[in-house]
């Protein structure tokens, strides 16, 4: 039996505790710089550090956020006053998570498709991150819907990598967040998204089983079953919630403690509304797992747009971040209403 088994179960449960979800702040430098570029923010290590300090020092963040996923650069950084970010998180009751994949790269022989890399040397990196205080990890696979894609080759290669990553994490004491993202980009219908998500989740859980991953010691981070962004026929929020729960019930074992969605390019309000509907009757009683969030953009975006790199905007940006965390916390309990968005944003 894995020496970490009980610790892994406890961590997984804590990550999806009532009222709480996970904050994804693991943008790689490329992605973070791209988002900074759009806001006219300088693309430097110091600006990324300042931004991550803004997030992690948001007052009372730990009331709504159980854990935060960091990037390799961030887990080594400190506050301006020299306090390591890892210490700030421990003090704020936020579990330390770390992205361990090395990004989605072109899949050879399959134009338009990606496979996520990062298995080489992963055992050693996990040991280092555990030493640094991390207790969970994340690996994201990307599945694109388009003409003739995804192919079985893409789904299988990504599912295999996710399962090998998850097994290595459990061996080293980190709860794996398994993230197969079916992209929202494209003009596909919700039915097509259902078909692809169903096939992807089925293949991922087959591979997790094959690699001996313990389902009660992991968290699934899926995309929702939703119409493509450019689809002319957009499904209603209730349809998104229903189709997503149906697809998850067909594929995710009840022993998985929690499902923490990515937002994938939905607006902050959509992401909160969809999560709320899944946590409201009649869907709520159909779920054997806790259903919550692991959003990046749907929590960070308003704060980033307000901050724009300006020191005098930090406190206001933190209020916006706090508000999104609060809305999604409520949504994860079925207590969100669009009225919450009308409250003054406290700026």
- 43 touches ligand 5MM by CB under 6 A: no
Say if CB 144 and CB 115 are below 8 A apart. Answer: no
Q: Which is nearer to ligand 5MM, 28 or 270 (CB)?
A: 28
- 296 touches ligand 5MM by CB under 6 A: yes
* Torsion of Cα atoms, 223 then 182 then 263 then 139, to 10°: 80
- 264 touches ligand 5MM by CB under 6 A: yes
Residue from 103, 118, 288, 309 touching ligand 5MM (CB under 6 A): that is 103
Residues with Cβ < 8 Å from 44, sequence gap 6 or more?
none
Contact track, ligand 5MM, 4-33, x by CB under 6 A = --------------------x-xxx--x--
Say if CB 328 and CB 262 are below 8 A apart. Answer: no
* Integer Cα distance of 234 and 186 in angstroms: 12
- 263 touches ligand 5MM by CB under 6 A: yes
- 214 touches ligand 5MM by CB under 6 A: no
* Integer Cα distance of 293 and 272 in angstroms: 9
Region binding ligand 5MM by CB under 6 A among candidate stretches 125-133, 161-169, 189-197, 258-266: 258-266
Residue given tokens 């089983």 in the structure block: 209
* Integer Cα distance of 143 and 107 in angstroms: 11
- 174 touches ligand 5MM by CB under 6 A: no
Sign of CA dihedral 87, 92, 96, 102: negative
* Torsion of Cα atoms, 35 then 29 then 87 then 119, to 10°: 130
- 219 touches ligand 5MM by CB under 6 A: no
- 35 touches ligand 5MM by CB under 6 A: no
Q: Which is nearer to ligand 5MM, 113 or 181 (CB)?
A: 181
* Integer Cα distance of 200 and 253 in angstroms: 15
Q: Which is nearer to ligand 5MM, 184 or 248 (CB)?
A: 184
* Integer Cα distance of 54 and 311 in angstroms: 10
Which of 27, 179, 214, 242 is catalytic? The answer is: 179
Q: Least distance from C-beta 65 to ligand 5MM, angstroms?
A: 13
Residues with Cβ < 8 Å from 264, sequence gap 6 or more?
181, 183, 184, 223, 224, 226
- 140 touches ligand 5MM by CB under 6 A: yes
- 295 touches ligand 5MM by CB under 6 A: yes
Task: Tell me, yes or no, if 308 is annotated catalytic.
Answer: no
Which of 53, 214, 221, 242 is catalytic? The answer is: 221
- 259 touches ligand 5MM by CB under 6 A: no
Q: Which is nearer to ligand 5MM, 297 or 324 (CB)?
A: 297
- 112 touches ligand 5MM by CB under 6 A: no
Number of H helices, E strands in the chain: 13, 10
- 181 touches ligand 5MM by CB under 6 A: yes
Say if CB 299 and CB 321 are below 8 A apart. Answer: yes
Region binding ligand 5MM by CB under 6 A among candidate stretches 3-11, 200-208, 262-270, 274-282: 262-270
* Torsion of Cα atoms, 45 then 49 then 55 then 59, to 10°: -170
Task: Tell me, yes or no, if 179 is annotated catalytic.
Answer: yes
The catalytic residue positions are: 179, 221
Sites of contact with ligand 5MM (CB under 6 A): 24, 26-28, 31, 103, 140, 181, 262-264, 295-298
């Amino acid at each position: 039996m894995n020496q970490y088994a009980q610790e892994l179960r406890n961590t997984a449960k804590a990550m999806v505790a009532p009222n709480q979800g996970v904050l994804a702040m693991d943008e790689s430098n490329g992605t973070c710089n791209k988002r900074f570029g759009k806001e006219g923010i300088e693309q430097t290590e110091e600006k990324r550090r300042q931004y991550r300090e803004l997030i992690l020092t948001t007052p009372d963040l730990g009331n709504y956020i159980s854990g935060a996923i960091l990037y390799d650069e961030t887990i080594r950084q400190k506050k301006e006053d020299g306090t390591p970010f890892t210490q700030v998180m421990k003090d704020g009751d936020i579990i330390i998570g770390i992205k361990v994949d090395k990004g989605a790269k072109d899949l050879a022989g399959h134009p338009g498709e990606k496979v996520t890399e990062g298995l080489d040397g992963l055992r050693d990196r996990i040991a280092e991150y555990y030493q640094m205080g991390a207790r969970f990890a994340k690996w994201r696979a990307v599945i694109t819907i388009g003409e003739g894609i995804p192919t079985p080759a893409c789904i299988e290669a990504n599912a295999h990598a996710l399962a090998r990553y998850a097994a290595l994490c459990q061996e080293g004491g980190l709860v794996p967040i398994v993230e197969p993202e079916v992209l929202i980009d494209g003009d596909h219908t919700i039915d097509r998204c259902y078909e692809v998500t169903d096939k992807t989740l089925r293949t991922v859980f087959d591979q997790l089983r094959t690699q001996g991953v313990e389902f009660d010691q992991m968290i699934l981070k899926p995309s929702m079953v939703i119409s493509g962004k450019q689809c002319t026929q957009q499904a209603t929020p209730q349809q998104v919630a229903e189709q997503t729960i149906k697809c998850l019930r067909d594929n995710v074992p009840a022993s998985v403690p929690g499902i923490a969605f990515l937002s994938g390019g939905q607006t902050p309000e959509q992401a909160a509304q969809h999560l709320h509907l899944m946590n409201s009757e009649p869907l709520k009683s159909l779920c054997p797992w806790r259903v919550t969030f692991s959003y990046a953009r749907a929590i960070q975006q308003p704060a980033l747009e307000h901050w724009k790199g300006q020191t005098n905007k930090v406190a206001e940006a933190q209020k916006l971040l706090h508000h999104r965390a609060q809305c999604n916390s409520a949504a994860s309990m079925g207590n969100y209403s669009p009225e919450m968005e009308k409250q003054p944003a406290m700026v």
